[in-house]
Amino acid sequence: MPESDLFTLNSPCHRPSIQPYCDRVRQMVSAERFAHIERVAVLAETIARSNGFRPDEVRAVGLAAVLHDAARELGHEELLRLAPPECEVERAHPMAVHGRASRALAASWGVTDERVLDAISGHVFGVAVHNRVGMAVYIADVSEPGRGVNEDIRDMAMDNLLRAYQRAVDSKVRYLRDKGKAVHPVTLRVYEQIRHAT
């Protein structure tokens, strides 16, 4: 069975408690984007289980991953309506707010678990190191197999969540700096925090 079929088979979208959210997101994004979302959800839950997350944390990870890109394909005007820019990076690059916009959508759909909401908004710029749910989603988003990159981070995450997260954030900051692009203030804060945590 192809790896893509295995991912779909293990998708949290098959669970009655998560399926309605999957249906909403599927209507808002392209088939390619939804396939990415499902791969992230399956990988994030796998990472969570490998790191001994409790069942309620695994569910939070799966739900956050399903919702993380809900707003990813909205127009700039709608993105900024849902998540008004908070800094110059966001004003210059409206797509940068899609995590917070996705959080706003999730909240409007009845999601109240702060772990889920924080992981959704934090998948773009990073989360605090005590946020295990957010770290699992962040790592899965940057390393899911469909991206074809960061396999080392994906492998590391199976037994050392914090170290994998550190490498993922470090890689993002280095990439942006090498390209001469601005690094979001939240990412810089997470980057500094994580350097002192390991």
C-beta of residue 149 within 8 angstroms of C-beta of residue 143: yes
Q: 75-130 pLDDT, tens per residue?
A: 999 999 999 999 999 999 999 999 999 999 999 999 999 999 999 999 999 999 99
Tell me: pLDDT of 7 over 70: no
Residue 1, pLDDT > 50, answer no
The answer to whether 122 and 100 have CB atoms below 8 angstroms apart is: no
CATH 1.10.3210.10 holds for 3-197: yes
**What is the per-residue pLDDT for 5?**
52
Tens of pLDDT, residues 156-194: 999 999 999 999 999 999 999 999 999 999 999 999 998
pLDDT at residue 114 in the model: 97
Q: Tell me, what's the pLDDT at 189?
A: 94
Q: Who has greater pLDDT, 182 or 41?
A: 41
| Inter-CA distances, 75 with 81, 91, 98, 146, Å | 10, 14, 10, 24
Average pLDDT over residues 145-163: 95
Q: How far apart are the first and last CA of the chain?
A: 39
**Amino acid sitting at position 69:** D
Task: Identify the DSSP state of 198.
Answer: -
pLDDT band at 8 (very low <50, low <70, confident <90, very high): low
Encode pLDDT of 43-59 as tens digits.
999 999 999 999 999 99
Q: 125: Cβ–Cβ under 8 A, 6 or more apart, which residues?
A: 96, 99, 184, 186, 187, 190
